Structure 1
Amino acid sequence: MRCCWTLCDIPRPPEGAGLPMQQHPSYGRACGSLGAEALWLEWREGRRTLGTAQVLARQLPVVGRVALLSRGPVWRPDTPRARSETAMAELLSALGQGHRAVLFTPEAEDGSPVLHGGMIPVMTAAHVARLALAPELSTLRAGLAPAWRNKLAQAERTGLRVTETSLPDNPGHWLLGAEAAQAQARGYARLPPAFARAWARSGRTLLLAAEGDRGPLAGILILIHPPWATYHLAWTSPAGRRLHAHTLLLWRAIERLKEMGILALELGLLDTERTEGIARFKLGTGAAACPLGATWLRAPGTGSVARIARLGLRAGVVPQTARPSARG
């Protein structure tokens, strides 16, 4: 049966599906403020929505129009795998007709060496830390790693003042400035501060800060995209690290998100080789290491490469796309 994807103005993800940040309308609108165009598509049968996809498009010099489908489509949980694979293939084919290149990262990797219709893998799969918030708060606390739980108890005994607000549309906000300086000093890549401000204009945020006598000691920013939320950025001063302020703020965020009815908190990608301490901190919350799919590319010439690769796979001379490992 053919699956028909149609453009829509107001995306309504399938009932019961999880929703990664990259597939939420607030993400599309925020990226739109940075020069991208968000396209929302849906696959419906009667009154039922079986799948939705948020695609970002951008015109690049020399290359032309490029489409990015990241961590989508979002499927209705009871959609048969064979049907979702057919729908995926038709969506990628349609995107290929209107774009010079298509980049595609599925939500999960099935481990099979499937080459998606003329697409070639350009980046191996990764893991994201995801904390399920459905359990009772007492169960979540019991699930903390012992060292994580001990630091939390120490921070709670300090009596740190914690404030909870939303992120204001202020380019000079102290947390954005402090985190930008931290990123420059440590040399890590992240979305620009303008992205967080754009999200705050059309979406929900949760900003928690630990206050000292001389100003902020630590802060974290959570982006909310029901039924999930994403830990977006954080900063801690040397004094805040000594008091384990970051640990306290993340636990307070977990408490507040549960009150909001959020079902899962994503803590970002895991990299145990370059940032082992950060990965250990994320997993210490009790979060699971959830696999994502590899990133695939479709562009002029990749069809030929994909055909050669398929022949190589059959002959056993081309390695399969790397599967996610426990190390992320």
Structure 2
Amino acid sequence: MFDFAVSAPLPALQQSPEFAAVLTRFGRSPLRLDDGTLALKRGPCLMLSRFQTAVQDLPTQLAGVHLPILLNPDYSGPDLSQIGALPIVSPATCAELDLTGDLRAGLHQKWRNRLKQAEQQNLRVTRQNMLIEQDHWLLREDATRQRQRRYRNWPVALTCAFAETNPGKAKLFTAFADKTPIAGLLLLRHGPVVTYHVSHTTARGRHHSAQNLLLWTAMTWAARKGAQRFDLGLISTEDAPGLVRFKLGTGAKPRKLGGTWIWWPPLGKTLRPLAAWDAKLMRDGWTG
């Protein structure tokens, strides 16, 4: 069971000016609502991803929109059935690390032990701005893993565009044994937040706990640069329990998001009774 954090979140990557700049570069400029929330046209729908607008303000903010709207709140428990939205996917959980405290004190014991092991392996760690190369070994490994495991991350071109559009904000950390890269970690900076984007570890890297050393290096670097939060991405004990333990071992806290809903404003509150029933099923554990 997760002990969910309840502190107010800082804006997610999907709601950052840096992300908006990348979309604009691709000719997909997002709609910006009056409160600054970004909305992206996606197929026949408008999508608000990781937004923080209050439920009662959505009808005003989206007045005049006649497309179906996908709503993915960045906070838990929003009752979007109030405006007639229907839940379609139950809430996911993200892991967030507060970078303002004593980071080493927050490490779990096993994680700290692996870090100590890695620190004794004579590994060399480098930090650089991400090279704008679609054939970079880390991006290539990530694309291969996406195909093998049948999931989707950002396209390589979008990651390279982020690095090019936001100079100095895509940071690559690499661990070397001799001259051989054995682990890599790419994080994206946006405002007071850094987001865990892509990582890969070889068999040798796992043996040396290189990813612990890389993530620790990235955490302490981000804290020195004044970042307040490290967004470690989504976690799932069903799909990847080992990755959950790795991320939460840093002292990160799990935080439940608000699920995914669909809303068609022209219908108003017509579907509110059905929406309320579906929202109850979501709260009771329905997975869509």
Name the CA distance, whole Å, in 2 between partners of 1:27 and 1:255: 24
1:210 aligns with 2:175: yes
Relative contact order, CA 8 A, sep 6+: which one is greater?
2
Q: Could you tell me which of 4, 13, 37 is aligned with 1:21?
A: 13
The 3 A distance-change label for structure 1 pair 305 and 212 is farther
The answer for the alignment partner of 1:104 in structure 2 is 71
- Secondary structure at the aligned position of 2:271 is classed as helix
Alignment check: 8 A CA contact 1:229 1:262 kept: yes
The answer for the alignment partner of 2:97 in structure 1 is 131
Name the CA distance, whole Å, in 2 between partners of 1:270 and 1:188: 14
Shift of 1:89: 3.1
- Secondary structure at the aligned position of 1:42 is classed as coil
Pairwise mapping of residues 65-76 of structure 1 onto structure 2 (< 5 A)?
66-73=45-52
Alignment check: 8 A CA contact 1:39 1:55 kept: yes
Name the CA distance, whole Å, in 1 between partners of 2:236 and 2:266: 32
Alignment check: 8 A CA contact 1:210 1:245 kept: yes
Name the CA distance, whole Å, in 1 between partners of 2:162 and 2:145: 21
Alignment check: 8 A CA contact 2:65 2:265 kept: no
TM-score, normalised relative to structure 1: 0.77
Comparing 203-212 with 253-262, which one deviates more in the overlay?
203-212
Name the CA distance, whole Å, in 2 between partners of 1:53 and 1:73: 8
The answer for the alignment partner of 1:142 in structure 2 is 105
Gaps of 5+ in 1: 1-15, 44-51, 75-83
Q: Could you tell me which of 169, 184, 192 is aligned with 1:227?
A: 192
- Secondary structure at the aligned position of 2:282 is classed as coil
Task: Give the paired residue count.
Answer: 276
Name the CA distance, whole Å, in 1 between partners of 2:248 and 2:274: 36
Q: Could you tell me which of 22, 30, 41 is aligned with 1:38?
A: 30
The 3 A distance-change label for structure 1 pair 72 and 300 is closer
The answer for the alignment partner of 1:322 in structure 2 is 282
Pairwise mapping of residues 283-294 of structure 1 onto structure 2 (< 5 A)?
283-294=248-259
Alignment check: 8 A CA contact 2:193 2:230 kept: yes
User: Which of the pair has more CA radius of gyration?
Assistant: 1
The answer for the alignment partner of 2:219 in structure 1 is 254
The answer for the alignment partner of 1:295 in structure 2 is 260
Name the CA distance, whole Å, in 1 between partners of 2:124 and 2:52: 41
- Secondary structure at the aligned position of 1:88 is classed as helix
Name the CA distance, whole Å, in 2 between partners of 1:17 and 1:270: 17
- Secondary structure at the aligned position of 1:159 is classed as coil
Shift of 1:34: 4.8
Pairwise mapping of residues 168-207 of structure 1 onto structure 2 (< 5 A)?
168-203=131-166, 204-207=169-172
Name the CA distance, whole Å, in 2 between partners of 1:116 and 1:219: 45
- Secondary structure at the aligned position of 2:77 is classed as coil
- Amino acid in the other structure paired with 2:60: E
The answer for the alignment partner of 1:88 in structure 2 is 58
The 3 A distance-change label for structure 1 pair 101 and 319 is closer
Identity, % of aligned positions: 34
| Deviation >6 Å, runs of 4+ | none
Shift of 1:146: 0.9
